[in-house]
Amino acid sequence: MNTMSRRSFVTTAAAGVSALGAFGSMGPRAEGQLVYTTSDWKVSDFDKVAKDPARIKQVFDVANINDGNFLGHIKNSLNGLHFGFGIPDPQIKIVAALHGPANMINYNDFIWNKYKVGEWLKVNDPDTGKPALKNTFYASKAGATLHYSSQDPDNEASLYQDGSIQALQSRGVKFLSCHTATEAQARMMIKRNGLSDPPEQVVKEMLAHTLPDVLVVASMVAAIALLQAEGHYTYITI
């Protein structure tokens, strides 16, 4: 885990945009909508996140799944800010900006099962040891109602040691999905699975199966820049 300067971030972002540009040569009109305009997505919802009045605002730039280790880092940041530095929970806002392979974590079990995402991204289900046919990062072991047997932050059975997406969302973490990455990943899944579906059909299916409360943004590298410049979020990459 390391922090980056604004100049380093811009260089990295430019490289990412260049790499994604390769998908533009896949055929006439790229068979889909590669670029969102302001009327295509919930810009007002993003503005609320960017302008959140919290005292401490932090954006995690996450491109690689890496066994979901970034979820533990977000959990540790929440705990450190609240318990270690005494900052009230309402004064903490953390955004998980997922793009690249990590973007697939924003989609539910239906997508993971249908398109064999675990096999593609080499994510194994810890319960079976085989390629995951479900999004193993979302659900909390505390159940849908998030009922915990302990309120002690040092207890593994407490909310404060739960690194699931569901638990982190309950603590106010906002997960963002990248539309640009989703378009690219739809094409990859079509190719890997030997499908004839139009890319935009798969994209629409993915968007219909985003996890609860996930916000899809037009471009993650652009969204992160706005979170920093206008929202004054501190930046960290995993």
pLDDT at residue 38, rounded to an integer: 83
Per residue, what are the HEC states of the chain?
CECCCHHHHHHHHHHHHHHHHHHHHCCHHHHCCCCCCCCCCCHHHHHHHHCCCCCEEEEEEECCCHHHHHHHHHHHHHHHHHHHCCCCHHHEEEEEEECHHHHHHHECHHHHHHCCHHHHHCCECCCCCCECCCCCCCCCCCCCCCCCCECCCCCCCEHHHCCCHHHHHHCCCEEEEEHHHHHHHHHHHHHHCCCCCCHHHHHHHHHHCECCCCEEECCHHHHHHHHHHCCCCEEEEC
Q: Residue range 92-98: average pLDDT?
A: 98
pLDDT at residue 32, rounded to an integer: 62
Per-residue model confidence as pLDDT tens digits over 222-231: 999 999 999 9
pLDDT at residue 15, rounded to an integer: 40
Going from N- to C-terminal start, the domains of the chain cover 56-143+153-237
The answer to pTM > 0.95 is no
Right CATH for 56-143+153-237 from 3.30.300.130, 3.40.1260.10, 3.10.580.10, 3.30.70.1520 = 3.40.1260.10
pLDDT at residue 41, rounded to an integer: 81
Q: Residue range 78-92: average pLDDT?
A: 98
Q: Residue range 59-71: average pLDDT?
A: 97
